[in-house]
Structure 1
Amino acid sequence: MDYRKFGETYYIRLDRGDEIIGSLLDVCEKEKIQSATFSGIGGCSSAEIQTFIPESGQFEVRNLKGMLELVSLIGNVVSDESGTLHHHTHAAFAYKENGEHHMDAGHIKSVEVLYTAEIELRPVAGGIIKRKSDPETGTGFWDF
């Protein structure tokens, strides 16, 4: 991984074997970023995708492997009351399976880079967005 800050924005290049979510959180910790938004593209080798099922209060998990074209990555990072960073990330992937083209998308738990990923990280300017837990869903939401 390598990154640079230009203006108020961080540009992050991830390399083969890097895990995207952990790397983003590492940059935020190192740079003392408490809340930010991000977007990116790239070529990945595996992804753990989740879909929240409200009726059960659980996430349904799908694992993708192979050449995954990361066509869209978007999300945010916020901190809770203890200062722990949390991400909320969605992504869409294009890939071939059995000679046919497919797409899959959803909430992302982890993604491993195959060739590269290019991510723009934009810290929140002029304030901090915190994370508030929602006991009804077991998830967290923005807290201003």
Structure 2
Amino acid sequence: MDYRKFGETYYIRLDRGDEIISSILGICQKEQIESAIFSGIGGCRSAEIQTFIPETGSFEVQELKGMLELVSLTGNVVTDDAGTYFHHTHAAFSYKKDGEHHIAAGHIKSIEVLYTAEIELRPVLGGRIRRKYDPETGTGFWDFGTETD
């Protein structure tokens, strides 16, 4: 992995075997980025895609393996009041199975790079977006705080 900051934006190149989500979170921690958005593309080896099932309050996981074209990655990073980092990431992959092209997409748990991934990370400027836990859904949502935060 390598990354550079140009202006206010970070450009990240991930290499074979790198895990995308933990790499993004690691850069945010190292650079003290408390909230950001990101997007990217790449060639991946595996992915865990989650679908939230409201009736059970849990996620179903689909595991993909093989040559996966990461055609779209988008997400955000936020922190809670304790400084814990969280991500909310969605992605779409194209791949061949049994000689046919397929697409799979959804909420992402993890992605491992096969060849490379190219990520643009844009920190929130002039403020901070926090994560606020919602007990009704058992998940977290954006919290903008107050003007003095």
Q: Deviations over 1:59-115 (max 9, x none)?
A: 010000000000000000000110010000000000000111000000000000000
Aligned residues: 144
Q: Within 2, Cα distance between the matches of 1:49 and 1:138?
A: 19
Q: Within 2, Cα distance between the matches of 1:118 and 1:77?
A: 17
Q: Within 2, Cα distance between the matches of 1:9 and 1:44?
A: 23
Q: Within 1, Cα distance between the matches of 2:16 and 2:136?
A: 39
Partner of 1:92: 92
Any idea what SS the aligned residue of 1:23 has? helix
Structure 1 residue 123 displacement after superposition: 0.1
1:18-33 alignment, distance < 5 Å? 18-33=18-33
Q: Within 1, Cα distance between the matches of 2:119 and 2:18?
A: 13
Any idea what SS the aligned residue of 2:108 has? strand
State yes or no: 1:11 paired with 2:11: yes
Q: Within 2, Cα distance between the matches of 1:61 and 1:103?
A: 16
Partner of 2:2: 2
Q: Which runs of 5+ in 1 are unaligned?
A: none
Structure 1 residue 137 displacement after superposition: 1.0
Partner of 1:114: 114
Q: Within 1, Cα distance between the matches of 2:66 and 2:138?
A: 32
Instruction: Find runs of 4+ consecutive structure 1 residues off by over 6 angstroms.
Output: none
Q: Deviations over 1:14-42 (max 9, x none)?
A: 00000000000000001000000000000
State yes or no: 1:48 paired with 2:54: no
Partner of 1:105: 105
RMSD: 0.4
Q: Within 2, Cα distance between the matches of 1:6 and 1:13?
A: 14
TM-score (norm 2): 0.96
